Structure formats: C-alpha cells, structure tokens
Amino acid sequence: MIPSITIDELLTYSNINIIDIRNIQSYNNNHINNSINIPFSKLMIDYAKYLDKDKKYFIYCQKGISSTKICKLLISNGYKVVNIIGGYEEWILKKK
C-alpha cells in the first residue's frame, strides 16, 4: 500500500519536501507552493541522484496516476514517499 494524503491534509503541513513530477513546462506554468520539479522521466532513470533515503518526500503529478507509479518504485527501493491524491488538478480545485 502506498502512503497517500489529500490536498487538505497537505495544506496542514509545513517545511516538507514536495516534488512535482510533471514536465518543466507544466511546472513553470504553475505548481503547488514550495514544490521542486523533478520530472517523472528523470526520477524513473536515476532517482538515487535526486533523492535521499533519509528524507520523506510528498510527490504529485497532474492527476495522481504517475505519482502513484513513481511512489511504488521508490518505496520498493527503500525511499520514504507519500502520494498526493488528485495531484495538481485537486490542488487547483482546493485553491478556489
């Protein structure tokens, strides 16, 4: 099972590592506050280059599908990750 949180839950946290796995154009257009961009394709190829096993990461994509896939991979390799349910689209809905 993949640890997951809703956008409402995410908004209660502070000082966390949020990773946007969408492409750079999508990220530059808009993103969840305080997130960093590491595109899905880069994480799939070389996640050890970007992530530290001693840290916990909250990961999102556009809708939550790709972030679920990358979370499965990362968990199976010993990383602490949490999937953000609904991704960026859910965040936009909650912002209104």
Laid out side by side, the sheet with 35-37 consists of: 4-5, 80-84, 56-60, 17-20, 35-37
Catalytic residue, candidates 43, 61, 84, 85: 61
- Dist CA 34 CA 5 (whole Å): 17
61 a catalytic residue: yes
Query: Which amino acid does the sequence have at 15?
Result: N
- Dist CA 9 CA 18 (whole Å): 13
Q: How far is CA 41 from CA 22, 82, 88, in A?
A: 9, 19, 18
Name the residues annotated as catalytic. Answer: 61
